[in-house]
Chains A and B, each alone.
Chain A
Amino acid sequence: MKDLFSPDLSARIGSLTLQNPIMPASGTFSEDLADVFDLDVLGAHVLKTIMHGTRAGNPTPRVCDMQSGMINAIGIPSKGIDYFRDDMLPYWAGFRSPLVVSISAHSMDEFARLCSEVSLPGVTAIEANISCPNIEADGNAFAMRPDTTHEVVTRLRAETDLPLWAKLTPNTGTPVEVAQAAEAAGADALVTANTMLGMSIDIDSRRPRLGNVMGGMSGPAIKPIALRMTYQCARACNIPVIGCGGISTLSDVLEFLIAGARAVQIGTATFQSPTVMARLITELQGWMVARGIASLDEIIGSIEAPEAGVFE
């Protein structure tokens, strides 16, 4: 009986097994969503990047529209490590879904120190945001180059026994080399990718539409870039890849899984529809039931070679 068929949605990310492959992208998720839908339906909870000290973030306007997407320059406002440990961690401990803590820093030393300090009971994994384009001068970040990626991931690896995910940037010209550098330095998984650096100008005032001038593009417009990078990294690396970038529909989720992602992160889509992640889990399950697909393993990395063109 088809009705009794219950597919296994669990997603394995190295040593972790998530109940399903749907989780939020860092920066688009907070306790503010808890009274909108049941957050325990999610595969994991990924928090907004924290930095060691307190930070105000960028001047407003911090967001603007673009064709099929948005640009943000929020600037990682952070209440610091003490607030995380004393206030945020106890709150998130009340949920069943595993907690992934995103961290970032301006220097290797500060990054390593923060990594050590957030490796606390109740934290399931650490996502190292080595790619956020807003925080480094002129949009530069550790993950722009393989050597700085290797150096920072090596430093972080030495500080924690927790699963360490490296969140990469699509702004690099050498994504495969950066991904391999993160793997070689001991990352347990890759997140592909973060926002793409861009800008927008108001033609009437001739002013940049963001207070920070430049910002990170996200949403459906950048999905093909993130999908391409996910495909490249999944082929080139042995560690799991988590897809992220413009995913808003079930078909987007499936594209990333077929390209080789073991799980996906949903970000900007939540801004349009705060309950989209819960709906995607239900839709994925329904899709697998309808096709008799028993587990995600039948989908992940199942991309076929392109059909050979024939000229007559």
Chain B
Amino acid sequence: MTHIPTTVSVPVPQGLRPRCSEATCRVVSNTPVNGEYRLLTLDAPEAILDCQPGQFFQLLCPAPEGESPFLRRPMSIYGYDKAAGRLEFLYKIAGAGTRGLATLTPGDAFNVLGPLGHGFSMPDVWQNLLLVARGVGLATLAPLARMAQDKGRKLTAICSARRPDLAMSTALFESYGAEVIVVHDEDGSSTPEALRPLIEARIARGDVDAFYTCGSSRLLRLLQELGEIHGIPGEIAMEQQMACGLGMCQACVRSFRVGERIIQRRVCREGPVFAISEAM
């Protein structure tokens, strides 16, 4: 049976475009990209493809053998193409939800809800961008590369991983004109101590107007420190366990430092992208 991608139709107030929709997509492919990650490609309706880099979808994961993921699972967007009707997620099998995702085969119907949250910003004064991310965090930042190219920005991507072959998205970053630097645990190049002079050298050359990061609290702390010393702003995409993904349930809060105060924000609604300087 062939599934046609469709969105669920509901009454909306006059003149309002729903900010997200529930849609049934069709699985185009679901294949391993290396030892740890898999790429899920969906045929998706146009209505859900007005996405911003950094936004996410809530996926209704099928039940794997012997398990029953009930809540939707939040997953950052790896790729989207409205003209082609394509939506992509890069994931690592880590629990019941992603084990369920791995069971999807081409032709399957798959229910997604999104796009959700606020994505990355790229104000005009941010001309030279330094992206530093690790592991699956690189998937979340992948759509930034196309945005940077579209806006004519210079992007450098420092891709951190346990081993060089696990550094995700490097070819994708290069295809959008980014300079790619792979650092990894095997030669020690991925430690904050090793990264610090690498980043500071670029700052000294005037090559860094803003940071983007995701996937490592050690990288966050390093960028926070360098950002404060050198007055460089930046954004981070954060994760938290979620239930609704829209803001009603208040499950996905995290703490942020705003001036002297510690406040709680919902990752799904106020995020998932936040100022690096306020993240904790």
- Nearest chain B residue, comparing its CB with the CB of A40: B13
With an 8 A cutoff between CB atoms, is B148 at the interface?
no
Question: Does chain A have a CB within 8 A of B249?
Answer: yes
| Alpha-carbon separation in the docked complex, A69 to B68 (Å) | 9
A181 proximal to B (CB < 8 A): no
Known A32-B269, A77-B264; judge A62-B68 contact (CB<8 A). no
Chain B residues in contact with chain A, CB under 8 A? 8, 10-13, 16, 18-20, 22, 60, 68-72, 96, 113, 240-254, 264, 269
Min Cβ gap A196→B in Å is 15
**Chain B residues with CB under 8 A of A33:** 246, 248
Chain A residue at smallest Cβ distance from B8: A275
Cβ B22 vs Cβ A271 within 8 A: no
Residues of the A chain whose Cβ atoms lie less than 8 Å from the Cβ of B22: 273-275
Q: Given A36-B20, A38-B11, A275-B22, answer yes or no on A70-B71 (Cβ-Cβ < 8 Å).
A: yes
Known A-B contacts A36-B19, A57-B253, A74-B249; A65 and B68 likewise in contact (beta carbons under 8 Å): yes
Contact B70 A219 (CB under 8 A): yes
Q: Indicate if A6 sits at the interface (CB-CB under 8 A).
A: no
Q: Are A60 and B18 in contact (CB under 8 A)?
A: no
Query: Are A66 and B70 in contact, CB atoms less than 8 angstroms apart?
Result: yes
Name the B residues within 8 Å of A64 (CB-CB). 241
Binds B, one of A23-31, A83-91, A99-107, A253-261: A23-31
User: Which residues of A does B touch, CB under 8 Å?
Assistant: 27-30, 32-38, 40-41, 48, 56-57, 60-70, 72, 74, 77, 219, 270-275, 278-279
**Chain A residue at minimal CB-CB distance from B22:** A273
- A63 close to B251 (CB less than 8 A): yes
Report how far A40 CA is from B71 CA in the complex, Å. 27
B11 with A271: CB separation less than 8 A: no
Contact between B69 and A27 (Cβ–Cβ < 8 Å)? no
State in angstroms the CA–CA spacing of A200 and B68 once bound together. Answer: 14
Of chain B, the residue at the smallest CB distance from A279 is: B10
Nearest to B248 among chain A residues (CB) is A30
Q: Which residue of B18, B240, B245, B254 is within 8 Å of A35 (Cβ)? A: B18
Asked if A60 meets B11 with Cβ closer than 8 Å, knowing A65-B68, A70-B71, A275-B22, the reply is no
Q: Hey, which chain A residues are within 8 Å of B96, CB to CB?
A: 65
Residue among B69, B72, B248, B253 with most chain A CB within 10 A: B248
CB-based contact B68/A68 at 8 Å: yes
